[in-house]
Amino acid sequence: MMRSAIIGVMACLWLALNMVQASAQEAEASPPPNLPPPTVVTPPLPPMETVEADISTRSLEVTTGFTGHEIVVFGAIDNSQAPKDDAGSYYDVVVVVEGTPFPIVARRKSEVGGVWMNTSSITFNSVPSYYAIASSKPIEEIAGPAVLERHAIGFRHIKMMPAGNSGAGLKDSQLAAFRSAVIRLKQRKDLYVLEPEGVDFVGRSLFRSTIALPANIPVGPLVARTYLFRDGEVVSAHIARVTLHRAGIERLVHNFAFVYPASYGLIAVIIAVLSGLLASVLFRRKTA
């Protein structure tokens, strides 16, 4: 139901956009009357393609029952030059969904006297809490490293800078080991996701991509950047946003604990005492 509704909306959107575009082209096509006719007839350049995209939902609530959520990033290529029903042969689309950057500490264990303990650490100033890339084919096949770096597409190009003098004594290779460990650990928690074939084309200009947000995703705004590639270059990009926020009991408890820690602690104590006493009353009656 949801799926077909989304596709329907996308199709309408695309039709409407095309009509606007078509009327604009007609207006350009009629030349001003008092100019001399051009001597050399050049074929008119096709208008540049642009990409527009949106997310299936604008805001998501993280409640006590939150077990993750799937969002759909969908969009359309305007002025698609692709042959009918085959946008994939002509274009590539990359969708990057990124969470709020947070400072994190990465630690490395080593053996000290038979016991494994954290011996070195590094603080990264800002690491995206969540980072998902979905693309119509593996990103290495879409564009060269310089292009990917410029647009921060791909795990290798996530901006991750050591804070202050943190990690000052480390060699480049050690720094790289910490970096790749952060990415590996985030991937293991499903917070960094790579979907090399996660973007599907529909017809000559529509595309969609399903991105799974895991239950442990940190709350905050998510930014979905959609890139349209042709011949290894970005021809257009679009940004859409979705916000995750705490709701229900989850929100109440979390905010209370962090904003009024003393009152929260006091209530925790009261709850514990009351539930302990209640239990003893209940079971005494049963056994009596």
Q: Nearer to another protein by C-beta: 221 or 276?
A: 276
Asked if 90 interacts with another protein (CB under 8 A), we say no
Kindly state whether residue 126 participates in binding another protein, applying the rule CB under 8 A: no
| Cα dihedral across residues 17, 23, 26, 32: positive or negative | negative
CA-wise closest residue to 131 among 155, 111, 107 = 155
Closest distance of CB 123 from another protein, Å: 6
Is 193 a binder of another protein (CB under 8 A)?
A: no
Q: Applying CB under 8 A, does 165 fall inside the site for another protein?
A: no
Looking at beta carbons only, is 107 or 241 nearer to another protein?
107
Instruction: Give the residue carrying structure tokens 């954290």.
Output: 118
The residues in 142-161 that bind another protein, with binding defined as CB under 8 A, are none
What distances in angstroms separate CA 255 from CA 130, 248, 267, one per listed residue? 22, 11, 14
Window contacting another protein (CB under 8 A); options: 4-12, 82-90, 137-145, 258-266: 258-266
Q: Does residue 19 touch another protein according to CB under 8 A?
A: no
**Smallest separation (angstroms) from another protein to the CB of 263:** 9
**Of the residues 118, 140, 150, 232, which one makes contact with another protein according to CB under 8 A:** 118
For 232, left (φ over 0), alpha (ψ -120 to 50), or beta? left
Residue 274 C-beta: closest distance to another protein, Å: 9
Asked whether position 169 contacts another protein by CB under 8 A, the answer is: no
Which two three-digit tokens encode residue 51? Answer: 């990409």
State the sign of the Cα–Cα–Cα–Cα dihedral 215, 220, 226, 232.
negative
62 binds another protein (CB under 8 A): yes
Residue that the structure tokens 């962090």 belong to: 258
Measured CA angle at 150 (ends 76, 131), to 5 deg: 65
* Residue ranges binding another protein (CB under 8 A): 62-68, 102-111, 114-118, 121, 123, 163, 177-178, 181-182, 184-186, 215-216, 218, 246, 249-250, 253-254, 257-258, 261-262, 264-269, 271-273, 275-277, 279-280, 283, 287
